[in-house]
Structure 1
Amino acid sequence: MRLRRIEVRDFRKLQHLVVEGLGDGLNVVVGDNEAGKSTLLAALRAVLFERHRVGGRAAQGMLPFGQSVRPEIRLDFDLGGEAWRLRKAFVQKPEAELESPRGRWSGDEVEEKLAELLGFTPPGAGGSKPGEHQGAYGLLWVQQGTAHEALGVGAGREGIAAALETEVGQVLGGERGRALLTAAERRRADHWTKLDKPRGPWKELREEVEELEARQADLRRRWEAHDGKVSDLAARQEALARHEREDSLGQAQRDLAAARVAEGQAARLEQGLREAEGRRKLAAAARDAAEGRRAARAALVGRRDAAARALASAQEEAGALRGVLEAHDAAARGAAGRLAEARGARDRATERLAAGERALRRQEAREALGRLEAQLRGAEEAERRRRVALAGAAAVAITAAALKEVEALAQARDRTLARSQAASVRIDFAPDDGRAVTVDGRAQDAGAPVWLAADAEIMLEGFGRLRVRPGGGAGDLAREAEDAGRALAERLAALGVADPAEARAALQRRLACEGEAEAQARLVEALAPQGIEALQAAVAAQRSVLDEVGDGIGEADAAVVEAARADLHAAMGTVAGVEAEAKAAEAARVAADRDLATLEGRTAGLAREHEALGAELAEARAAVPDEALEAALGQAGAELLAAEAAEGAARAALEASDPEVVRLEMKRAERAEQAIRADIDRLGREKRDLEVELGALGREGVGEQLAEVEGLLELRRRQLGLRGQEAAASKLLHEALVAAQSESKDRWLGPVREKVRPYLRLLQPDTDVVLNETTLEIEGFRRDGREEAFHDLSIGAREQVAVVTRLALADILRGAGRSAAVILDDALVNTDEARLSRMHLVLHRAAENLQVLVLTCRERDFRQLGAPLVRIR
């Protein structure tokens, strides 16, 4: 199929678009982003593959946003050496018409005829999907942004497979081979899962054999356990009889009673020792109490004597401090008089200095005010000039961007005029005898040439009419020139200028005003860095200073002020010295007074303490004389010696009884009695349990069950062997067919590689594409003897490999009589300049036998392709 002309009306964003003049080989359709290239491809898919009565989301997707119109598409194409014309209208009053030299079809007949001609599957209730319904065209028409993805062979596989079978014959990659492999897969699936695990009747037999083997093993264990349990029962009976013969439990009980008697005797000895220890501790406490009372009496005597000595010492020290305090009082009074004199001299010097400084401050304020007022006048004048300049700049509408736009429009107008004149027909008139000439009814100066870009009628007086029809797209170029001139005029009118030169002059005036405004702004900033308002505030502040200082204070004299400052400094030094002296004298007096008060307070306390201790000692001796304390201490020591002797005797008696041995014997006897009793109980329980188990085994008939299971197991093992042979055979057959198909892969996919190889040689020599023999999808890319997965390649490499593979598959379809155009919508956007140049060669080679349409927004990349350019707007 060769596309010749496409006309689209009211389809999505396209109100009316005509693409015509499409040739057999390479064709490049150029348009800016959002110009509608991808929409054009969608319209092409719709007119061929969508039912004209389609509704729902598919129909809504054809309508422009927010509009209710009737999308209509017309397509002229060549197929089988004949010209065909197709028209479809959708949504409102849907129609379909198809014409050829062989006849005319309409309505639903159109969809049926197109499916027959192009070999695709019409969609059901919904819209058409490239991978499911559009056959080879879903593969060969590449949508924008998908060129680097997998081929998406989909419904096109059957057509390609049929073309390959036509070329290489029926091999394992063909229909008979696939049918044979499918039958082998079904036979294998009867016995094996996808993970090579058994399934079906074979799996059930294996599981039954495993269950029988497990039951056989269980019955054997139970049968063998029967004999063991008989022996165990006899052993338990013998052990119980031995306990009874030897009276082991009675002997253990008697040993336990004897151990308990010995333990009681040891406990009584331990109690006697504890009582003796208690009496010894009481005697020791009484002796310690007597010693404490005697020590307390001695300590009280010592504290009374120490208090007497401290009182005498404090009284002597207080007398000395009173003399020191009188001397410090006299020194402090003298320092206070000298300080009053020094402060008077300092106050007089301060008054002289304040008067002189006030006069200087007024003089400095007058000078500063003059400077600030001059700065303020200059800044206000510069601000006025800046505003005037800004107003002048604002009055000009031209900006640098606007001028650039105007110049670009002027250049576009000049280029289109030059191209229009180059494509137009020039006619020079030389009439005889001054005969008149008119062009389209307008009189023409016979001495001036005429440039004709559109159809025109020329009247030559004395000759007749002459009709001129320029070709080569001159009319389109003339309209482009008119559009460019109109756009320039509209922009100039919007800016209020007559031509680009006036616009440039206006911009120069604006720039001059802006420069003047900037210079005055810098002057304002230099005169008033903090702003004019801040400068005005500074002037007001200086005036406030003058008002504050006032008048009538005399003239400023710096020498007088300096002399007053020196006098004040000297007076302040004198005051500081006298103040330090007075402070030191006062501090010494205060410290002496404080020390005397402290010492007098301590002396009074010591007197009270001495008196209290004397009274306390007299009271204690009256209650208990010193001799009575000594007698009580001697008696408590004798009682402690007697208690210690009694404790030693009790300890010796306990150690002689060896209580540790008695406790160990007791524990041993208890554990022996418990162990023998537990052993007899355990043996009795085990004897009863074994008797019950042996009785149950005898009733179950374990021996008969074992024989029955072993017979059934032998039968199932023979059946399992037969099933296993059948499963192994099915698996072997499938593996052999898969291996044979793999071996035939080169022959099955050989034509594809033969078609791809010339394209790859132009792009990257010594490389090959690896396809899946079943799905025909790209699996990998082989270069330098190493295979890489397709998805591991860069986006640009994937894009190039996918494009050349599609071209090869289109060649195979053409060879089988199923020629189809190849459409690439912005399919090489990730290709660098060097590879893009090589891809141009690839496209040229493909275009020798195929029609290839390249839809692109990058005219510069395909300008050197050497193919006709069709521009859409």
Structure 2
Amino acid sequence: MILTDIQIEGFRRFASPVRLDGLGPGLNVLAAPNEAGKSTLLTALKVVLMVRSSSKAKPVKDLQPYGGGAPHVALSFTWKGMECHLEKQFLSKAFTRLILGPERFEGDQAEEALRNLLGLEEASKGEAAGLWSALLVGQGESFVQPDLNQTGQDSLRGCLEQGVEQATGGAAASAVLSQVRERLYLLQTAKSAQPTGKYKHALEQEAQAQVSLRELENRRAALEEDLVALDQARRALREQEDPDRKAQDEAELLALRQQRDTLRIADAEEQAARAALATATQTLNSIRDEQERRRERQAAHRRLERESAEMQHDLQALTQRTAQARQRYEASRARREQAEQQQQAARQVLLTVSRRAAVLQQRGALEREKQILARAEAACTRLEQARAALAALRVDEAVIRRVRKAVREMDAAQAALNARATRLTVTLLPEASGRVLLDGAACPQGDMVLTQAAELRIEGIGQVRITPAVKDQEEAQAAADVTRHQLQSVMQAAGCQTVEEAERLFEERRQAETRVAEARAAFVASLPAARDDRDAALFEALAAMRQDMQDRAASLARELEACTPDGRPEQADQTEAALQQMQTTARQEEDSAARAADEARQAERAEHVSLSATQGLQDKAEAALRQKQAEREQIGRELAVRAAQESDDALAERAAGAVQAQAQAEAHSQTLRAGREAEQPLSVVEARIARREQALDNGRASVVRLREEIRERETRVRVAEGDGLDEKIAEAGRAAARLRLECEGYERERAALALLDQTLSDAEKTQTERYLAPLVRTMQPAFSAVFPGASLEMDTGFALSGLTRRTAEEFGRLSDGTREQIAVLVRLGFAELLHARQSPAILVLDDALSFSDSQRLESMFDVLADAATRFQILVLTCHAEAFARLGGRALALRPIPQITERR
């Protein structure tokens, strides 16, 4: 099977018709960037081959482009030498057309014929299933091995059985297995083996019957519970409504309340006695505290008097030390000021000498810059002279171009005139010279061009008139004259007599331009401070340099005058060596004076520190003395105030009275406590009253609650007794037993079918393992090319379970790139098997082999190229550079006006 044409319209991103150009046998490669429509193209190929046009499923609706439309796909291919064509349109005005050589099919007949051709079977929602789904490999699907459904596995088995001898009965066994599974799947699901269909319905009915039975039994249990609880509630209500018990409880509560009132009165008396005792105790403590405070303040007053006298003596000694330290400090300050004056004088001398040296250096720098200015002015003069010489030369590039153009035009006109003229060649003997005349003059020898009539006279013979046969002679002559006049005008405007003179003047101008450029470059190089190389900036920089030179010269003169205030020229003209010697001497004197000043400052700082420390001690002593005196005076005032308020004798008398009052209050309080030791605490009596009151309240609430509960339970009992609950329970039990028997029957049938399915599957597995060898032999060459020395292991689901190189390796433990290569090779083996059994087969890969290294990719390219010699392969990729080495036909997606319909 060879695809020859694919056309798409209204399909996802392809709203307008497009066509895949370049399809043919062998290897076909579509290299295009991302979002160019490669995956959409593969989806269209899958849909046109495997989905009915009448399908309205959501995946089909998702194929519409933005804005809606009817997906339309046309596919042309060859099969067994026949030209075939398939065309489908989905959703709106859906149709299917299939042409197989001379046969034509429409609608459902076309769908059935296509499925028979490709070996597909109906799956769900209008989509077919089979081995072809493993050969159309979408983006991302190349990383896993193909997951074949039952139809795909049957297709492979059919291909393999054709090459296995003594495999008769395989198809019949598969048919029996299919029938067993069909009946089994009526009772359980295919994947999870969960009940379904009639079996599931029976289980649900049986579970519902059990639920109903349990509900009825629960209702009967609730009825029995209500009867027991009703009897208990009636007994409790009789107990709560007993009048003797109620009167007894109220009498006990009244006695407790009377006892509580008596205890409250006694508590009040005891609290008053405790308050009187506390007041007496507090008064006595206050008096004692006051006496203690007075004794402490008197002792503190005496201590402060002693300390003040001692501090006064110490302060006098510190005052004498401070006066001596101040005298030493004043003397050190005077010495420091004298040393600083000497240092300042030495520094002034050093500054004067340094200033003279700086002026001398500035004068040298100024002389050097004057030389630079002189060079710049000389370069400027040379530039102006070169420009003046250039301006005197009038033949520039434009003029010489006009001259050369006029010369070319004149030469062309003369050449055209000469090309039309008559050529005369004259060769004379020596003795004939002078005897042959041309237009009355001696005839020259050699070639001549005659553009006008001429007369040739030969002495002694006669004359010959030569009239040139020049076509359009007057026009050619006029054109030549015009070009000659134009050349003369150009030469006159240039001020030249000849063309050679114009060329010479132009060459002189070029040399002058070179001299101007050289002079200007020298001028620019002499002005490094210029902002740019424009003339205005250059002349501005030169003027600024002149002005700066003048300003610096004036400034230097002022500096020089300042350095020689007495005007002595010998000071201004001192040599640099003499100034340096003077500067060294002045610096040494300044350093010596600075060291003396530093020593004086350090001595002053030391005396100042000593004075500050002594003064600080004196200040602290004075402050401490003032504080002690203030504290002593404050304590004296406090003692005087307290004595004025109450004398010490009166305070002692009041303390004795407080002691007597405290003793009396303590005796009264002890008498009251002794009288209440046999009584119950008030809190216990109050708790007992609260408990009895709560019990009475709970009893009244319990009576109301019990009456309500009795009414509710009596109502439920009457309703339950009228419903015939026992009869309903018996009927529900019989229904549940019947449904249980029905479920057991379904379970036995399912177990038998499952056992038969397992037995037939084991037999099929054994047979499949026998004919897996041809599939392995088909795949082995390609695997050996990519994985040298490797052997394959296939399972009964036609998937590669392992790869043995030096050791056995599980497929799931291999790298992503290796798994992708194996998955592609497995699909390639399926296509090889279909091709070998004369079944339609192509392989389409969308963005596969993206995880392969360069060496492994080359091996895969070799395998694909070899397989493409037997069946068609389409490779869709966005890696154009990497897949350029694959070769094959280069495909392209191109827009077309409309899809070509074949009828």
Using structure 1 for the length normalisation, give the TM-score. Answer: 0.56
User: 2: CA distance between counterparts of 1:734 and 1:581?
Assistant: 121
User: 2: CA distance between counterparts of 1:577 and 1:305?
Assistant: 51
Kindly indicate whether residue 177 of structure 2 is the aligned counterpart of residue 179 of structure 1. no
8 Å CA contact 2:233–2:710 kept in 1: the answer is: yes
Structure 1 counterpart of 2:777, from 731, 748, 758: 758
User: 1: CA distance between counterparts of 2:196 and 2:594?
Assistant: 121
User: 2: CA distance between counterparts of 1:738 and 1:819?
Assistant: 36
Kindly indicate whether residue 761 of structure 2 is the aligned counterpart of residue 745 of structure 1. yes
Residue 218 of structure 1 and its aligned partner are, at CA, apart by 1.1
Map of 1:421-570 to 2, 5 A cutoff?
549=556, 553-570=572-589
8 Å CA contact 1:6–1:76 kept in 2: the answer is: yes
Specify whether residues 808 and 565 from structure 1 end up closer, same or farther in structure 2 by C-alpha distance, changes over 3 A only.
closer
Name the structure 2 match of 1:768.
794
Larger radius of gyration: 2
Kindly indicate whether residue 388 of structure 2 is the aligned counterpart of residue 351 of structure 1. no
Kindly indicate whether residue 588 of structure 2 is the aligned counterpart of residue 573 of structure 1. no
Map of 1:453-852 to 2, 5 A cutoff?
549=556, 553-571=572-590, 573-574=592-593, 577=596, 581=600, 632-658=647-673, 661=677, 665-683=681-699, 685-686=701-702, 689-690=705-706, 693-694=709-710, 697-698=713-714, 701=717, 705=721, 708-748=724-764, 750=767, 753=772, 755-762=774-781, 763=783, 764-771=790-797, 781=801, 794-801=816-823, 803-805=825-827, 807-808=829-830, 811=833, 818-822=839-843, 830=851, 851-852=871-872
* Per-residue Cα deviation, 1:432-464 (whole angstroms, up to 9, x for no partner): xxxxxxxxxxxxxxxxxxxxxxxxxxxxxxxxx
| Number of residues of Structure 1 aligned to a counterpart in Structure 2 | 676
Specify whether residues 709 and 549 from structure 1 end up closer, same or farther in structure 2 by C-alpha distance, changes over 3 A only.
same
Give the aligned residue type for 2:760: S
Q: Provide the secondary structure at the position in 1 that maps to 2:573.
A: coil
Give the aligned residue type for 2:682: M
User: 2: CA distance between counterparts of 1:327 and 1:826?
Assistant: 102
Name the structure 1 match of 2:208.
204
Give the aligned residue type for 1:781: S
User: 2: CA distance between counterparts of 1:674 and 1:843?
Assistant: 100
* Per-residue Cα deviation, 1:831-864 (whole angstroms, up to 9, x for no partner): 668877987998799899x634364889999999
Q: Provide the secondary structure at the position in 1 that maps to 2:692.
A: helix
User: 2: CA distance between counterparts of 1:150 and 1:630?
Assistant: 114
Residue 549 of structure 1 and its aligned partner are, at CA, apart by 4.6
Residue 144 of structure 1 and its aligned partner are, at CA, apart by 6.4
User: 1: CA distance between counterparts of 2:313 and 2:264?
Assistant: 78
User: 2: CA distance between counterparts of 1:684 and 1:605?
Assistant: 84
Kindly indicate whether residue 170 of structure 2 is the aligned counterpart of residue 148 of structure 1. no
Residue 768 of structure 1 and its aligned partner are, at CA, apart by 0.9
Specify whether residues 560 and 724 from structure 1 end up closer, same or farther in structure 2 by C-alpha distance, changes over 3 A only.
same
Residue 570 of structure 1 and its aligned partner are, at CA, apart by 1.9
User: 2: CA distance between counterparts of 1:224 and 1:7?
Assistant: 86
Give the aligned residue type for 1:765: S
User: 2: CA distance between counterparts of 1:152 and 1:597?
Assistant: 102
User: 1: CA distance between counterparts of 2:663 and 2:294?
Assistant: 24
* Per-residue Cα deviation, 1:753-791 (whole angstroms, up to 9, x for no partner): 4553323555353511453xxxxxx77735679996879
Kindly indicate whether residue 215 of structure 2 is the aligned counterpart of residue 189 of structure 1. no
* Per-residue Cα deviation, 1:324-348 (whole angstroms, up to 9, x for no partner): 8789878877886787677556644
Give the aligned residue type for 1:670: E
User: 2: CA distance between counterparts of 1:837 and 1:611?
Assistant: 109
Specify whether residues 121 and 639 from structure 1 end up closer, same or farther in structure 2 by C-alpha distance, changes over 3 A only.
same
8 Å CA contact 2:76–2:84 kept in 1: the answer is: yes
Specify whether residues 657 and 4 from structure 1 end up closer, same or farther in structure 2 by C-alpha distance, changes over 3 A only.
closer
Specify whether residues 655 and 759 from structure 1 end up closer, same or farther in structure 2 by C-alpha distance, changes over 3 A only.
farther
User: 2: CA distance between counterparts of 1:119 and 1:259?
Assistant: 110
Q: Provide the secondary structure at the position in 2 that maps to 1:184.
A: coil
Residue 713 of structure 1 and its aligned partner are, at CA, apart by 1.6
Residue 273 of structure 1 and its aligned partner are, at CA, apart by 1.5
8 Å CA contact 2:38–2:876 kept in 1: the answer is: no
Specify whether residues 142 and 672 from structure 1 end up closer, same or farther in structure 2 by C-alpha distance, changes over 3 A only.
closer
Give the aligned residue type for 1:77: T
Specify whether residues 741 and 113 from structure 1 end up closer, same or farther in structure 2 by C-alpha distance, changes over 3 A only.
closer
Specify whether residues 218 and 345 from structure 1 end up closer, same or farther in structure 2 by C-alpha distance, changes over 3 A only.
closer
Using structure 2 for the length normalisation, give the TM-score. Answer: 0.55
Residue 208 of structure 1 and its aligned partner are, at CA, apart by 0.5
Structure 1: gaps (5+ residues): 66-70, 124-128, 378-526, 772-777
8 Å CA contact 2:30–2:891 kept in 1: the answer is: yes
User: 1: CA distance between counterparts of 2:851 and 2:601?
Assistant: 98
User: 2: CA distance between counterparts of 1:72 and 1:631?
Assistant: 125
Specify whether residues 199 and 655 from structure 1 end up closer, same or farther in structure 2 by C-alpha distance, changes over 3 A only.
farther
Name the structure 1 match of 2:493.
none
User: 2: CA distance between counterparts of 1:783 and 1:216?
Assistant: 68
Structure 2 counterpart of 1:853, from 852, 869, 873: 873
8 Å CA contact 2:144–2:819 kept in 1: the answer is: no
Structure 2: gaps (5+ residues): 67-71, 162-168, 379-524, 533-537, 561-568, 784-789, 893-903
* Per-residue Cα deviation, 1:474-529 (whole angstroms, up to 9, x for no partner): xxxxxxxxxxxxxxxxxxxxxxxxxxxxxxxxxxxxxxxxxxxxxxxxxxxxx99x
User: 1: CA distance between counterparts of 2:335 and 2:46?
Assistant: 123
- Segment of structure 1 superposing worse, 657-666 or 203-212: 657-666
Residue 667 of structure 1 and its aligned partner are, at CA, apart by 1.9
Structure 2 counterpart of 1:169, from 165, 169, 172: 172
Residue 736 of structure 1 and its aligned partner are, at CA, apart by 3.6
User: 2: CA distance between counterparts of 1:715 and 1:560?
Assistant: 140
Residue 637 of structure 1 and its aligned partner are, at CA, apart by 0.5
User: 1: CA distance between counterparts of 2:138 and 2:616?
Assistant: 111
Specify whether residues 355 and 702 from structure 1 end up closer, same or farther in structure 2 by C-alpha distance, changes over 3 A only.
same
Name the structure 1 match of 2:495.
none
Give the aligned residue type for 2:83: W
Map of 1:71-86 to 2, 5 A cutoff?
75=76, 77-79=78-80, 83-84=82-83, 86=85
* Per-residue Cα deviation, 1:394-426 (whole angstroms, up to 9, x for no partner): xxxxxxxxxxxxxxxxxxxxxxxxxxxxxxxxx
Q: Provide the secondary structure at the position in 1 that maps to 2:575.
A: coil
Structure 2 counterpart of 1:215, from 211, 219, 237: 219
Specify whether residues 207 and 316 from structure 1 end up closer, same or farther in structure 2 by C-alpha distance, changes over 3 A only.
closer
Name the structure 1 match of 2:127.
132
8 Å CA contact 2:821–2:849 kept in 1: the answer is: yes
User: 1: CA distance between counterparts of 2:716 and 2:655?
Assistant: 87
Map of 1:273-292 to 2, 5 A cutoff?
273-281=277-285, 283-284=287-288, 287=291
User: 1: CA distance between counterparts of 2:875 and 2:170?
Assistant: 32
* Per-residue Cα deviation, 1:149-188 (whole angstroms, up to 9, x for no partner): 5647689759839958995215467553343223334994
8 Å CA contact 2:210–2:736 kept in 1: the answer is: yes
* Per-residue Cα deviation, 1:706-753 (whole angstroms, up to 9, x for no partner): 994234223312221221221233234234423432433355565584
Give the aligned residue type for 1:205: A
8 Å CA contact 1:356–1:557 kept in 2: the answer is: yes
Residue 111 of structure 1 and its aligned partner are, at CA, apart by 5.5
Specify whether residues 314 and 368 from structure 1 end up closer, same or farther in structure 2 by C-alpha distance, changes over 3 A only.
same
